[in-house]
Amino acid sequence: MNGVMDDVSDGALVSRAKQGDLEAFSELVRRHRERIYRTIFRFARDHGDTDDLAQETFLRAFREIRRFREKSEFSTWLYRIAVNLSLNHLKRRKREMGRREFDERSADRHSAAGSSPEAASQDAEFRACLGDAVDSLPPAYRSAFVLGVNEGMSHGQAGRILGCSENTVSWRLHKARKMLQARLRPITGEVSR
């Protein structure tokens, strides 16, 4: 199946999926699932929640595919669904947990091979603090940071997904970096100027 579908554009697959072609929609899922999963994980930080949110993203896309107006790329529309579901999940989780910190971070933080145990420990501690600092960003700044920095999207691409201008994404990234610098200053030892 994949060999036959590899040469078909996303646009053609979307047209076929709108007509009820399940094979075409399955191919769209296959093409985009890794990037969508990775993006959602940057928000949820939990593989179980990420699995659920990724499944919900594709289920919602399947149910809404006929409403997709194709004014943007399919991937942009799919990212928008994933980001919105992720942000809603974080809001629910925050309400459920009250004001407690999110301490259940997964232990998938590995150090580089060949480094000393002390350096590996410091590296793991810094990455844990950085992850916590990113998690603590307000949702608009966190979304811009995840898409722009973690996913390597252009500010224009991130803006289309987030429904804002390229300049707004640039400003949010700038502010997110400033907030992260301030939160990490005790660890990095930077002196404020």
Delimit the domains of the chain by residue range: 7-100, 115-193
In this structure, which long-range contacts are made by residues 110-113, counting pairs with CB atoms below 8 Å and at least 24 apart in sequence? none
Q: Is the pLDDT of residue 191 over 60?
A: no
pLDDT tier, 27 (very low <50, low <70, confident <90, very high otherwise) = very high
At residue 108 the predicted structure's pLDDT band, cuts being 50, 70 and 90, is very low
pLDDT for res 185: 82
Instruction: Look at residue 106 in the predicted model and tell me its pLDDT.
Output: 36
> Is the pTM higher than 0.85?
no
Query: Model confidence over 112-130: pLDDT tens digits?
Result: 444 567 766 667 777 778 8
Q: Which pLDDT value is given to residue 193?
A: 44
Between 56 and 181, whose confidence is greater?
56
Indicate the fold that domain 115-193 takes in CATH: Arc Repressor Mutant, subunit A (1.10.10)
More confident residue, 188 or 153: 153
The answer on pLDDT for 101 being more than 80 is no
CATH number of 7-100: 1.10.1740.10
Is a pLDDT exceeding 70 seen at residue 3?
no
